[in-house]
Amino acid sequence: MPRHIVCLTFDHDHMSGFIARGLTTPTYISRGEYDMVVIPRLVALLGRYDIKATFFTPGHTIDSSPQSVMPYVEAGHELAHHGWTHRLPASLSKDEEEEEIVRGNNSIKRVTGQLARGYRSPAWDLSPHSIDILLKHRIKYDSSLMGHDYDCYYARQGDTVELKKPFVRGRETTLLEMPISWSLDDYPHFEYMRNPNGSIQAGLMNANMVLENFVDDFHYMREVCPDFGILTYTFHPHVIGRGHRMMMLERLIKQLRAGGAVFMTMENAMKAWLERKQAKAAE
């Protein structure tokens, strides 16, 4: 059984993230479209190292630009759910959120022949209804929460959160949570944004400095979880696809592999986690 698993994941937002925020001028749209240049390069890079990755792709991307999606579908990478419009679930009504899941699943089934097994919330912001909706539509794992770094856990539903009262944890569900972190996401490190409210997201960090952080997180996992751990990195094709960042990604792959990393899709990492849990229970 693999000991230290790495999941390379790509949020293939295309232009949906900009449209969801009302950023629809030609320059913003072109920033999203740049991923059509990047995807073949990413698929080639992953192929050189025989790595299967997970692409969390909104239905809007699939339906608007199927030609940008098929290269990684045909190469055997996992296509997972990322909403349809890239609107935050926390900003939607329950019915609107469920519509996103249904519509996104229909888009995924059209190109893969099956429904999604995994889900990642746009901007990692679930609603109070999200867990129940995902379970209703047979999603097996979620990758939107941050309650651990190197281990999976079962997501809760029904937490009670009130300002002047103690926090009360809800019930544990059967939805497996595969946690993430903004610190292991390329977007805040690299993407420059002038937001509609006037704020600036500076981004544009030195790629080698970010690489050092990414590699150190893997080494720390080996230290504190010597028996087993799963580390998930999040990339966006239109962000990581710039030349110096693609070179950083390849150096990351090389260094992780030299350190003993086993690369898996999120679905296969989920299966490995469940197999280990069952094996421990049988001891």
The answer for residues whose C-beta is within 8 angstroms of residue 172's C-beta and 6 or more apart is 154, 155, 156
Query: Do 59 and 83 touch, CB atoms closer than 8 A?
Result: yes
**pLDDT computed for residue 197 by the predictor:** 82
Pairing of strands 141-142, 200-201: unpaired
**pLDDT computed for residue 195 by the predictor:** 80
Report residue 248 CA to chain centroid gap: 19
**pLDDT computed for residue 248 by the predictor:** 98
Closest to 59 (Cα-Cα) out of 122, 123, 144, 127: 122
Helix (H) or strand (E) holding 54: strand 54-57
Q: What is the mean pLDDT of the chain?
A: 96
Kindly provide the residue ranges of all beta strands, DSSP E only, lying in 136-189, ordered along the sequence: 141-142, 153-157, 171-177
* Backbone phi and psi for residue 45, each to the nearest 5 degrees, phi listed first: -60, -50
**144 φψ region: left (φ > 0), alpha (ψ -120 to 50), beta (else):** alpha
Give me the sign of the Cα torsion angle 210, 118, 101, 131.
negative
- The rounded distance, in Å, linking the Cα atoms of 77 and 272 is 17
Q: Dihedral (C-alpha) 88, 94, 98, 104: value to the nearest 10 degrees? A: -20
Query: Helix, strand, or coil here: 26?
Result: helix
Closest to 90 (Cα-Cα) out of 122, 56, 58: 122
**76 φψ region: left (φ > 0), alpha (ψ -120 to 50), beta (else):** left
**pLDDT computed for residue 128 by the predictor:** 95
Query: Do 135 and 175 touch, CB atoms closer than 8 A?
Result: yes
Which residue is associated with the tokens 């995994």? 118
Residues of the chain with pLDDT below 50 are none
Query: Do 142 and 177 touch, CB atoms closer than 8 A?
Result: yes
Closest to 144 (Cα-Cα) out of 181, 173, 171: 181
Query: Helix, strand, or coil here: 98?
Result: helix
- The rounded distance, in Å, linking the Cα atoms of 40 and 44 is 6
The amino acid at 277: K
The pLDDT tens digits for 13-44 are 999 999 999 999 999 999 999 999 999 999 99
**pLDDT computed for residue 172 by the predictor:** 96
| DSSP assignment string, 204-243 | ---HHHHHHHHHHHHHHHHHH-SS-EEEEEEE-HHHHTSH
Tokens of 280: 């421990």
Which residue is associated with the tokens 């497996």? 176
